[in-house]
Structure 1
């Protein structure tokens, strides 16, 4: 079955270019040039991945991303932002809202396809049927459910993969570079600061009910899953 990509982009020429190249690579592409319509399409028939422009008519890509992450049916859909914004603060804001990756315009179709494939490879290995536990946290790779003290924890795809990596290696300290390789893959360039953004998001989700922070920051070294702070 072909992976289904939802493209929400108001530039008609760019939409046609992206759609042509994705379909040539074997993807099933649906698209919208309007923010509200794109949001509705994502809710009614959740795709395997969303390509989301930052600036859209009627509803911005940032707001769409925020709403999708808050909805249980769409919270785990990988989202790649397409943006002409080059300022670091804008890129970090997109990641903090819930995007898994971003591509800065202008971009080559080859780069975009490489990023899409990398994201999909990171998401699909989760269906391994394995339940990981540490302290009061459990992660089910089959259902993509995370519990802390028997209460559900809602994570985006990147935070889920990061937590899974920590749970597979409890107590081990990982540098930012090691986390980039493990969570994002070797073939995609992601800035080191991106790791810190997702660590903050993971901590916020795990500690939402005032639970103890079990992600330890090791100065000048990295991060570890550890009950000893």
Structure 2
């Protein structure tokens, strides 16, 4: 009887030890799995960082000085001087997006809603992926500024009095000395790129009051009035 009891206790002790060993193994396995997940997440983060760096290194920079139509040729700066059709298509796309967004051409560039500008840039990039090659969408910014300037010029040509104002209501002669930075990573904040507006006509783009596309003046479109960087 005593031997039977001892044997039973031995079996119980063995089962208990085996159970503890299994629990330890399970805990180690879970710890290893958690570590593996952490390492995979870090690797993915590093790959994304490398991909971002490669993209940034391949971005076309804004010309160091001047503005489109007054210091450099926008089409040449975009490196599509041999693809006028693409240039025209982008111009029409941005013009349509600006019209749909309802931007007020009498508001100076620095006071235009940065969130709306960022949305226009993103939408233009989605329609023309080539535009993703420009840091913070500076090329689209130049198209927008040029389009707004020409809308003011056309209004003045038609006899309308167009006051250049900011959102605080103050009046200025022109907005060429103002800058607005766009950060596509933070729609609410300021970014890195900025650019002055050129002269009132700047690019010589032809428009009518309905904003229809006219290609008859393509030789004087956005940024095509100067070949100098």
TM-score per shorter chain, which class?
under 0.3
Q: TM-score, normalised by structure 1?
A: 0.26
The structure with higher relative contact order (CA 8 Å, sep 6+) is 2
Q: TM-score, normalised by structure 2?
A: 0.26
Q: Name whichever structure is richer in helix by fraction.
A: 2
Greater Cα radius of gyration, structure 1 or 2: 2
